[in-house]
Structure 1
């Protein structure tokens, strides 16, 4: 089940600047909701002059509130205007929900599959306890579930996991650790559930090859391929060079 998050849609009305006196005015309208049907949508419209909030409209309260002497007077006048209050209330549907639906379609409904890796982070020696880590990188949206399976059964003991952590580029990552005593012939898997998957994905841990050996093989294979390419290039050059010679009888 997906965790419920608080969504915020923030749009700034262009600030009106008075260059002669250096004054500024801004209205950063906020639309806040947590339910997918947007039934709890709230519109907050603060009025800010020279970085000081002097008044604010809140759709949940259904009125304006003043925060400075001038703001209090303005709020009292605005709250007497029934048509104005009805118009602000209608902005929840007309403005917030309309734009939020566009965001849902353009952003929130998109999914990116995680890149999942299972590796050993601590090999047991005297304690006979190993520490595996299952990491999921570069996924969106952030809601994800990572669990461990041992011989087909879910493992709940000795499991610790981080929260979904933002990468800073709209993508997220998460890490889950499993401490266990290895046994011969067992099968350990990391199970990942995410909106980008049609079904839970299972990633099996292969203890037959340490990470260091995998790196060495990868480096060795890369070197072999590079050597073959260089050798092939040298052979082609040699053939071309010799095929271009003309023997002259003496």
Structure 2
């Protein structure tokens, strides 16, 4: 699993308005898990855009990067109480907040929605292309594969990266160019942490999507026409039933 980076910032700022100097320090926690061995605590001090010195729990002491930073690092490294307090921050500061962060965000997951559809390519190289669109899932790590008659397909497959939707969800699209064979089965298989088992979407070539849409639209129009006709007939019967017929003498 890729490394996670959680920046828990406690920023202390000292600003001298006349000279425009900005002095601050930032606490960072880098981690792969909530285990202490997978956590690094970093405390860095800056003036304007220059890093002066930093402390890393991996090294266990301060390191200076400028003349003033080196002087400060030597001073802090000779103060046992300062060193001990910084060494304890990996557990007191990082591990505590990582557990909260993990439960609130990293452990959450949302099942993906999947749509499988076909397009016809104009260049004639492949008569058809299947597109597997996967969207509205979290976290972004996901696997999308194609299977043809039970065998994984790797040739003529192109996929996008996991793209953010700007609403905490992600989307990805995979395409398969293929020449249809009679009786074959083609499936898009999606694996995600939110799923108890892989999600298998099998392509049904019995009727193109455009034709299915035409049938749905035609059926809807037919039902609407019958409904309006029935309503008109009922209205006519009610009006005819309320009339009084007057005999006319034509002799």
TM > 0.5:
yes
Shift of 1:197: 0.8
- Find the aligned partners of 1:105 and 1:98 in 2 and give their Cα distance: 11
Equivalence for 1:10? 7
- Find the aligned partners of 1:232 and 1:49 in 2 and give their Cα distance: 82
**TM-score w.r.t. structure 2 length?**
0.79
Q: Closer, same or farther in 2 for the Cα pair 1:41/1:210, shift >3 Å?
A: same
Equivalence for 1:144? 142
- Find the aligned partners of 2:188 and 2:147 in 1 and give their Cα distance: 6
Map 1:18-33 → 2, pairs under 5 A: 18=15, 20-21=17-18, 22-33=20-31
Equivalence for 2:88? 90
Equivalence for 1:180? 178
- Find the aligned partners of 1:45 and 1:113 in 2 and give their Cα distance: 38
- Find the aligned partners of 1:216 and 1:47 in 2 and give their Cα distance: 66
Q: Closer, same or farther in 2 for the Cα pair 1:47/1:150, shift >3 Å?
A: same
Map 1:125-140 → 2, pairs under 5 A: 126-140=124-138
Task: Specify every segment of 5 or more residues in structure 1 that has no aligned partner in the other structure, as ranges.
Answer: 239-250
Task: Specify every segment of 5 or more residues in structure 2 that has no aligned partner in the other structure, as ranges.
Answer: 237-251
Q: How many residues align?
A: 239
Does the CA contact (< 8 Å) of 1:6 and 1:33 recur in 2?
A: yes
Does the CA contact (< 8 Å) of 2:117 and 2:132 recur in 1?
A: yes
Does the CA contact (< 8 Å) of 1:15 and 1:24 recur in 2?
A: no
SS in 1 for 2:38: coil
Map 1:50-199 → 2, pairs under 5 A: 50-123=48-121, 126-199=124-197
Match among 199, 202, 209 for residue 201 of structure 1: 199
| More divergent stretch after superposition (133-142 vs 220-229) | 220-229
| More divergent stretch after superposition (92-101 vs 170-179) | 170-179
- Find the aligned partners of 2:31 and 2:185 in 1 and give their Cα distance: 43
Q: Deviation string for 1:150-192 (max 9, x for gaps)?
A: 2233223332333323233322222222222101222211111
Does the CA contact (< 8 Å) of 1:128 and 1:182 recur in 2?
A: no
Does the CA contact (< 8 Å) of 1:145 and 1:193 recur in 2?
A: yes
Q: Closer, same or farther in 2 for the Cα pair 1:230/1:143, shift >3 Å?
A: farther
Structure number with bigger Rg: 2
SS in 2 for 1:12: coil
SS in 2 for 1:45: strand
Shift of 1:55: 1.4
